[in-house]
């Protein structure tokens, strides 16, 4: 193992690829279960599941075994060749979904899956305009980036024409309210589409949204919203694409977050959680849409489309999710975590809101009244540092003015003791940071 001085400047030869331009202050050399371990030997509870992906924790024995066996047998093939793991994963994914989502395209990343979904929607509808939320994050490839409004739009030249932003129905920070001061999401949705219709050149192809906005602040869509949005799409001949990169595969307590309201999308994308930390993504749609796309010459093959190694991992992920009933576990453990966060909110005045579903929860800090402009952002950064120092990895939303919002998403395999320990560290970090500031 390298010594503590083996890498005196770890980031020296790395391109800084996130807006804030900083890396973790310590190198991570090992990970197991809900913990990652630094070069100096410190343990950090991982309350972000890596990049919101490792739903089975790190180095899960079943995944380790599958990778060892599969890489020795069959790892990569020409894009026109199929293998048993790919055929099996497509069949099993279809089995987890309601009709008519029966056709799967297996890819690598969430951005790639969203790219393919948008490309398919444009080809099938013969249109080009795409609607997504104003605080969306769908990836950094071309179509995915054009549908992303939370960050990364400035300085890169013109975006593709025909991309429109829809207001976020944020109940904690409502933009349009009713007589009682609560979010009037129906009026907001109507107004949003009035603006889109006014700007559209009559070529609306699809609406691409997350059922719970994660990078946008862990914003759960109000009851009835997704149904109303689907109706708006049908009225205009648009396809509804749901991006479940972070909400799919039991994370929210259901196998898919859209099942909470019973709205079946025309196209579904899953990624992060499907590979449980390894690069695997899928686009799922109906036989009718797949047939229409094929007839019109749908083209989307990549170097690692239908690769057997990640597909084998995906099958193992499904095995563990079913065997260990991790949808139920996410509901139970999510309630435990939510209760802990609610108790923190009762003790710490700087917590303005706790929200989310299952094991995808958000905690929003407030600090403007005491700390002035940007106070919540500074408080969020301070709490993050104190958590890290005390052995807990937390993630704040990296958006201007939203640095006081934590995304809390531990693995579905975390223990009750680990959840309690993480909440305890967060309690201490909140007290420390508020006192210091």
3 state DSSP class of 390: helix
Instruction: Put the strands of the sheet holding 392-393 in their side by side order.
Output: 28-32, 35-38, 43-46, 392-393
Pairing of strands 239-243, 204-209: parallel
Residue 341, pLDDT score: 98
> What is the chain's length?
437
Q: Mutual orientation of helices 110-125 and 287-295 as an angle, nearest 10°? A: 70
Residue 369, pLDDT score: 61
Residue 353, pLDDT score: 95
* pLDDT by 10-residue block (mean), the chain, 437 residues: 62 84 87 97 97 97 98 97 98 98 98 98 98 96 94 91 96 94 97 98 98 95 98 98 98 97 97 97 98 98 97 98 98 98 96 96 82 80 94 83 87 98 98 87
List residues with catalytic annotation. Answer: 137, 210, 243, 246, 272, 407
Residue 400, pLDDT score: 63
For residues 119 and 134, is the Cβ–Cβ distance under 8 A?
no
Pick the closest to residue 136 from 153, 120, 124 (CA basis).
Answer: 153
Q: Where are the beta strands (DSSP E) in 293-418?
A: 351-357, 360-365, 392-393, 395-396, 405-408
What is the C-alpha end-to-end distance of the chain, expressed in Å? 38
What's the CA gap between 353 and 171, in Å, rounded? 10
What's the CA gap between 9 and 74, in Å, rounded? 38
What's the CA gap between 264 and 241, in Å, rounded? 10
Residue 1, pLDDT score: 45
Domains and CATH numbers, the chain: 28-60+325-436 (3.90.1150.10), 74-323 (3.40.640.10)
DSSP letter at 121 equals H
């Amino acid at each position: 193992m390298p010594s503590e001085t083996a890498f005196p400047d770890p980031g020296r030869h790395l391109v800084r690829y996130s807006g804030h331009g900083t890396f973790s202050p310590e190198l991570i050399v090992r990970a197991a279960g809900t913990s990652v371990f630094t070069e100096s030997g410190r343990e950090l509870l991982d309350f972000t599941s890596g990049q919101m992906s490792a739903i089975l924790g790190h180095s899960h024995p079943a995944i380790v075994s599958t990778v060892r066996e599969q890489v020795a047998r069959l790892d990569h093939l020409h894009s026109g060749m199929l293998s048993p793991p790919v055929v099996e994963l497509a069949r099993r994914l279809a089995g987890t979904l309601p009709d008519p989502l029966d056709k799967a395209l297996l890819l690598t990343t969430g951005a790639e899956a969203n790219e393919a979904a948008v490309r398919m929607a444009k080809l099938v509808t013969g249109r080009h305009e795409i609607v997504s939320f104003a605080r969306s994050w769908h990836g950094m490839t071309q179509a995915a980036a054009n549908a992303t409004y939370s960050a990364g739009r400035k300085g890169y030249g013109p975006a593709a024409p025909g991309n429109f932003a829809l207001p976020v129905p944020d109940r904690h920070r409502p933009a349009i309210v009713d007589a009682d001061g609560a979010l009037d999401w129906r009026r907001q949705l109507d107004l949003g589409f009035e603006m889109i219709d006014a700007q559209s050149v009559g070529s609306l192809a699809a609406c691409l949204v997350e059922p719970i906005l994660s990078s946008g602040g862990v914003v759960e869509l109000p009851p009835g919203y997704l149904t109303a949005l689907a109706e708006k799409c049908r009225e205009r001949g648009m396809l509804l694409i749901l991006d479940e990169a972070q909400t799919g595969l039991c994370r929210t307590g259901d196998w898919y977050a859209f099942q909470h309201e019973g709205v079946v999308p025309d196209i579904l994308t899953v990624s992060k959680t499907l590979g449980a930390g390894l690069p695997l993504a899928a686009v799922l749609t109906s036989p009718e849409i797949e047939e229409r796309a094929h007839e019109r010459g749908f083209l989307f093959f990549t170097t690692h489309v239908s690769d057997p190694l990640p597909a084998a991992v995906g099958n193992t992920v499904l095995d563990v999710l079913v065997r260990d009933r991790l949808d139920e576990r996410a509901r139970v453990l999510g309630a435990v975590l939510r209760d802990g966060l609610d108790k923190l909110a009762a003790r710490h005045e700087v917590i303005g809101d706790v929200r989310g579903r299952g094991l995808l929860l958000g905690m929003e800090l407030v600090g403007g009244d005491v700390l002035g402009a940007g106070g919540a952002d500074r408080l969020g950064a301070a709490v993050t540092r104190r958590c890290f120092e005390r052995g807990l990895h937390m993630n704040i939303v990296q958006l201007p003015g939203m640095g006081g919002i934590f995304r809390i998403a531990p693995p579905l395999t975390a223990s009750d003791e680990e959840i309690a320990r993480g909440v305890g560290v967060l309690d201490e970090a909140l007290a420390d940071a508020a006192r210091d500031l």
